[in-house]
A and B are shown apart, each in its own frame.
Chain A
Amino acid sequence: MSITLKVNGRIHTLDLDPSTPLLYALSDDLDLRGPKFGCGLGQCGACTAIVNGAAVRTCITPVRAAVGKDIVTLEGLGSPEKPHPIQQAFIDEQAAQCGFCLSGVILTAKAFIDKNPKATDAEMQAALSGVLCRCFTHTRMHAAIRRYRKAVSR
């Protein structure tokens, strides 16, 4: 059936079974590279998008639940030429190795910090408790997120 989604500020109308996970609409129908299949179980974060301001695991979210909402993927935040401040923080800290997990890391952190700009390190860690980076670039990622928190809370 016809499904209308608002992704990165643009309206798309797709012909999809409404139970299809949002991930496949984003990565396959719309060819977006940010959200990725990591586990399909909502356990790792690689598929994350921000939906109406909240970080959402798109691999376990049916597309019908995203209709009428504002969906932002990693590429919707900024571009290599004009990165979003949190993306810039990750570039400045060289906070990645393979980079496959970055949708989960950056978008989960952004959604949390934007709502909690005065969050403590412990609260920030708790917010990231379900996100995996198997290259274990953790120290740099935390440094980048703290850098973004500082910019937001200023």
Chain B
Amino acid sequence: MKRRDFIKSAGALVVGFSLADHGAKAQFGSAPIPGSPDNRQLDTWIAIASDGTVTAYSGKEELGQGISTAQQQLVAEELCVRFDRVHLIYCDTALTPDQSYTSGSQSHPANFNHANLAQACATAREALIAMAAQKLGVPAEKLTASDGIISGNGKKIAYGKLIGGRKLNLTIDPNAKRRDPKEWKVLGKPVGRPDMAAMATGRFEYVHNLRLPGMLHGRVVRPPVVGAKVVSVDESSVKDLAGVVKVVVRNNFVGVVAEKPWQAIQAAEKLKVVWSRGTALPKQSEFHDLTRSQPSRDTLLVDSGDTQSALSGAAVILKTTYEHPYQMHGSVGSSCAVADVQGEKATLYSPTQGVWYQKTTGAMILGLKPENVHVIFRRGSGCYGLNGADTVSYDALVLSQAVGKPVRVQLSRRDEMAWENYGNAWTIDERAGLDAQGNILAWEHEAWSPSLGNRPGPSTPGNLVTGMLLGFEPARFSPGPARPPRAYSNNSNGVPSYVAGRVGGADQGTGTVRSERVLVHNVVSPFWTGPLRSPARLQNTFAHESFMDELAAHAKADPVAYRLRHLRSERVIGVLKAATQAARWDARPSPKPGNPQTGVVTGRGVACVAYEGENGYTGIVVEAAVDQDSGKVMVKRMWVGIDAGPISNPDGLRNQAEGGALQGMSRALGEEVTWDDEKITSVDWRTYHSLPLGFEIPSVECVLVNRPDEKATGAGETSITVVAAAIGNAIFDVTGVRIRRIPFTAERVRAALRERE
């Protein structure tokens, strides 16, 4: 479909504004991609047809998290039309606004607060009422809108009659009044997902199902080991295979194009490529210690400057190290994209989280002008961050350009798992001093995290494996010392919830401990890294919330009461209490007294967080059993308290909280990227351990804390953030043994239990 040119002549009376996605803004700046529509203009967001149906345009896409349903509810609510009269179009560079990436629990805050989509709808409703007032000769305050009809004083007129098919020509009014949550009819309700029936009956079209006329199928041939380069490619090795159209070699990128997928797969397997030797990889068993000695780029998040002296005055000092492995997105469907490059123009159908950045970086790869690259989002398998979606999109562009025809590329399982941008490994030192009563006097956190590449952003295709193979460089790493913090941000959750977060003379954290220091070292990773659901926040929270439990145990205090003693954020306290009350928390110190040291024993653990410092709140209680003979950890029940501001769709929120809790459990118990001296060895579901549908699933009870007067916050990445710590704390409660390394495999737990004896 073609979008009419809504945005050329705007009768701007009101000063527009935009609340940009702050996560992506921090990373890539707020400048929109040239050629993207003006986000201040109403017509960028809303179009009303003559039959009264509403088309809404959003830069935040459906990835399976349910945000399209919630956005459709939002538009229906603010514009006072029926849910099924709203048609939502998202993430198409020819049609929709540029809202940067759909990532990092940013869609709810970006589009449900007083900006962007929500404010566009509120502005449109007020504008329609003003137009109706003029047309009907009835004062605006006597008019109400309902089901797409404005009425009052016995007169009425439909939206379609007022504006149908024409531009609104207004800018977003920051003062337009949002509908009062108390009067919500559609928003805030558990509306079912409109795409559910199509998914359950096999009718839904994923990007994998897209079939264009004349489309061919591509397959890439990745290096066998990390760092290998192409020496030679023997095209004759596949020339006799049925259906092979072309072998494509560009720098170190190798791929084949065939008529059918199975032919492409066979050709990729049979193509003879000679590769150079790779680079030696560090030993996995020594990896965490090695990261400490690498050149680093350092960041201080908080530094009260007095932790040394505070610690020297402490009655006791505790110091421990936590280790989190690389983990992968491991999408159940390997990534897929379809590209159609014809001469100077390209169309890309991609499951990317950032269509606008695929447009600019795709253009760099093709050597085309960005304005000639059209990127259309199409849903793929759930991604949970930067899976193979962006890199396979580059693969499809390169192969399509080479043959001048539409090409669909789907990665092999191995290529997906061996080359994706993994969630970063972390090595975290925690140190705290307690006074004689067990109160925390000072807290120091020092962390090392290796990274390589990332999201490509507007201009760095080398941040992904395909870009690198084509000859682009990843973002440059420059080591450097930390500067004193100037503005407070806890976007990474590097700052524990229990310290004051004092920067610039104001306490901006969620806790009470005034002596604080958080220092982060970024070092170079041998593997690609990128955001994986709750990046940095999950790993930091694992360390903080495990350590808080260690401090509570040392102080012989109940872990919940001890947390409350050091918290001052009502939002964090609220979710912690919601979870613990639902769980009928057994208030006492850990470990559980009198537990036998053999057999299966049950205990409980707790954790909480203010996600990104202020973008969503979760508390969790886990009841877990440990088989002390085998070391197997069995999570029995979970209670999640979750606060995302005003609840837009309670069932959608619940689905996210439940899925996050169980995904967090899988990551805590089994998931770990592994490698040998030259390559990744976790390349399928036998070697990378995700909990299958058949495991004994704990019950997950969610307590939704509704805050209609607060800002809408993130929801998708919050519950997963607290799971690992809560399970580790439960293991400690059961056994008295602290496991400080993820995953909590049976072998690791059993070994720790043997040491206990």
Is there a chain B Cβ closer than 8 Å to A7's Cβ? no
B202:A33 contact, CB within 8 angstroms: yes
Is there a chain B Cβ closer than 8 Å to A65's Cβ? no
For B382, give its contact among A31, A40, A98 (CB under 8 Å). A98
Is there a chain A Cβ closer than 8 Å to B566's Cβ? no
Is there a chain B Cβ closer than 8 Å to A80's Cβ? yes
A37:B333 contact, CB within 8 angstroms: yes
B64:A94 contact, CB within 8 angstroms: no
Is there a chain B Cβ closer than 8 Å to A67's Cβ? no
For A140, give its contact among B198, B203, B384, B655 (CB under 8 Å). B655
B413:A131 contact, CB within 8 angstroms: no
Binds A, one of B152-160, B315-323, B507-515, B692-700: B692-700
Is there a chain A Cβ closer than 8 Å to B651's Cβ? yes
Q: A102-B199, A139-B662, A139-B699 are in contact. Are A131 and B692 (CB under 8 A)?
A: yes
Is there a chain A Cβ closer than 8 Å to B522's Cβ? no
Contacting residues, chain A, for B116 (C-beta < 8 A):
none
A46:B332 contact, CB within 8 angstroms: yes
| Most-contacted residue by chain A among B64, B690, B699 (CB, 10 A) | B64
Flag B375-398 by CB within 8 Å of A: 1 or 0 each.
000011110100000000000000
Q: Tell me the chain A residues, 6-58 only, with Cβ under 8 Å from chain B.
A: 17, 20-21, 24, 27-28, 31-34, 36-41, 43-44, 46
B384:A134 contact, CB within 8 angstroms: yes
Binds A, one of B40-48, B205-213, B573-581, B595-603: B205-213
B332:A79 contact, CB within 8 angstroms: no
Q: How far is the CB of A6 from chain B (nearest CB, A)?
A: 17
Q: A46-B333, A79-B203, A140-B655 are in contact. Are A100 and B692 (CB under 8 A)?
A: no
Is there a chain A Cβ closer than 8 Å to B65's Cβ? yes
For A127, give its contact among B192, B195, B694 (CB under 8 Å). B694
Is there a chain B Cβ closer than 8 Å to A128's Cβ? yes
A83:B333 contact, CB within 8 angstroms: no
Interface size on A, residues (CB 8 A): 61
Q: A46-B332, A134-B331, A134-B663 are in contact. Are A99 and B199 (CB under 8 A)?
A: yes
A134:B330 contact, CB within 8 angstroms: yes
Consensus secondary structure, chain A interface: loop
Interface residues on B, range: 35 or more
A135:B696 contact, CB within 8 angstroms: no
Contacting residues, chain A, for B684 (C-beta < 8 A):
39, 41, 43
Q: Tell me the chain B residues, 178-221 only, with Cβ under 8 Å from chain A.
A: 192-193, 195-206, 208-209, 211
Is there a chain B Cβ closer than 8 Å to A151's Cβ? no
Complex CA gap A96/B204 in Å reads 13
Q: Tell me the chain A residues, 95-152 only, with Cβ under 8 Å from chain B.
A: 96-103, 105-106, 125-142
A129:B201 contact, CB within 8 angstroms: no
Complex CA gap A139/B660 in Å reads 12
B658:A98 contact, CB within 8 angstroms: no
Query: What residue of chain A has the Cβ atom nearest to residue B206's Cβ?
Result: A100
Q: A38-B332, A43-B684, A97-B65 are in contact. Are A135 and B663 (CB under 8 A)?
A: yes
A99:B64 contact, CB within 8 angstroms: yes
B201:A96 contact, CB within 8 angstroms: no
Complex CA gap A84/B202 in Å reads 12
Is there a chain B Cβ closer than 8 Å to A71's Cβ? no
Query: What residue of chain B has the Cβ atom nearest to residue A79's Cβ?
Result: B201
For B333, give its contact among A31, A36, A142 (CB under 8 Å). A36
Is there a chain A Cβ closer than 8 Å to B347's Cβ? no
Flag B352-392 by CB within 8 Å of A: 1 or 0 each.
00000000000000000000000000011110100000000
Complex CA gap A142/B684 in Å reads 25
A24:B209 contact, CB within 8 angstroms: no
B262:A21 contact, CB within 8 angstroms: yes
Complex CA gap A98/B473 in Å reads 33
Contacting residues, chain A, for B585 (C-beta < 8 A):
none
B690:A130 contact, CB within 8 angstroms: no
Complex CA gap A38/B465 in Å reads 21
Contacting residues, chain A, for B661 (C-beta < 8 A):
136
Is there a chain A Cβ closer than 8 Å to B292's Cβ? no
Contacting residues, chain B, for A125 (C-beta < 8 A):
693-697
A100:B333 contact, CB within 8 angstroms: yes
For B655, give its contact among A24, A73, A97 (CB under 8 Å). A97
For A43, give its contact among B211, B685, B691 (CB under 8 Å). B685
Contacting residues, chain A, for B413 (C-beta < 8 A):
38-41, 43
Query: What residue of chain A has the Cβ atom nearest to residue B196's Cβ?
Result: A91
A83:B693 contact, CB within 8 angstroms: no
B260:A101 contact, CB within 8 angstroms: no
Q: A43-B686, A80-B197 are in contact. Are A98 and B700 (CB under 8 A)?
A: no
A80:B201 contact, CB within 8 angstroms: yes
B382:A97 contact, CB within 8 angstroms: yes
Contacting residues, chain A, for B330 (C-beta < 8 A):
134
Q: Tell me the chain B residues, 712-753 only, with Cβ under 8 Å from chain A.
A: none
Contacting residues, chain B, for A76 (C-beta < 8 A):
202
A34:B202 contact, CB within 8 angstroms: yes
A99:B204 contact, CB within 8 angstroms: yes
Is there a chain A Cβ closer than 8 Å to B107's Cβ? no
B64:A135 contact, CB within 8 angstroms: yes
Contacting residues, chain B, for A97 (C-beta < 8 A):
64-66, 382, 655, 659
B694:A38 contact, CB within 8 angstroms: no
Is there a chain B Cβ closer than 8 Å to A60's Cβ? no
Is there a chain B Cβ closer than 8 Å to A70's Cβ? no
B690:A132 contact, CB within 8 angstroms: yes
Contacting residues, chain B, for A77 (C-beta < 8 A):
201-202
Query: What residue of chain B has the Cβ atom nearest to residue A25's Cβ?
Result: B262
Complex CA gap A132/B331 in Å reads 10
Q: How far is the CB of A32 from chain B (nearest CB, A)?
A: 7
For A126, give its contact among B193, B262, B694 (CB under 8 Å). B694
A98:B692 contact, CB within 8 angstroms: no
Q: A83-B201, A87-B201, A94-B651 are in contact. Are A133 and B694 (CB under 8 A)?
A: no
A32:B202 contact, CB within 8 angstroms: yes
A129:B658 contact, CB within 8 angstroms: no
Q: Tell me the chain B residues, 232-288 only, with Cβ under 8 Å from chain A.
A: 242, 260-262, 265
A132:B693 contact, CB within 8 angstroms: yes
Is there a chain A Cβ closer than 8 Å to B449's Cβ? no
| Most-contacted residue by chain A among B202, B204, B262, B659 (CB, 10 A) | B202
Contacting residues, chain A, for B68 (C-beta < 8 A):
none
A105:B693 contact, CB within 8 angstroms: yes
B694:A129 contact, CB within 8 angstroms: yes
Is there a chain A Cβ closer than 8 Å to B618's Cβ? no
Is there a chain B Cβ closer than 8 Å to A78's Cβ? yes
Interchain Cβ contacts under 8 Å between A and B, 18 examples = A28-B260, A33-B202, A37-B261, A38-B381, A40-B265, A43-B413, A44-B685, A46-B333, A80-B203, A94-B193, A94-B655, A97-B66, A99-B195, A131-B694, A132-B685, A135-B382, A141-B693, A142-B693
Given contact pairs A77-B202, A125-B697, enumerate 17 new A-B contacts (beta carbons under 8 Å). Answer: A24-B261, A28-B261, A37-B410, A38-B333, A38-B381, A74-B202, A75-B202, A80-B197, A91-B192, A91-B196, A98-B380, A99-B204, A100-B206, A101-B332, A128-B692, A128-B694, A137-B659
Query: Shortest 6 CB-CB distances between A and B: which pairs?
Result: A98-B64, A34-B202, A129-B694, A74-B202, A99-B199, A98-B382
Q: Which residues of B contact A (CB under 8 A)?
A: 63-66, 192-193, 195-206, 208-209, 211, 242, 260-262, 265, 330-334, 379-382, 384, 410, 412-413, 651, 655, 658-663, 665-666, 684-686, 690-697, 699-700
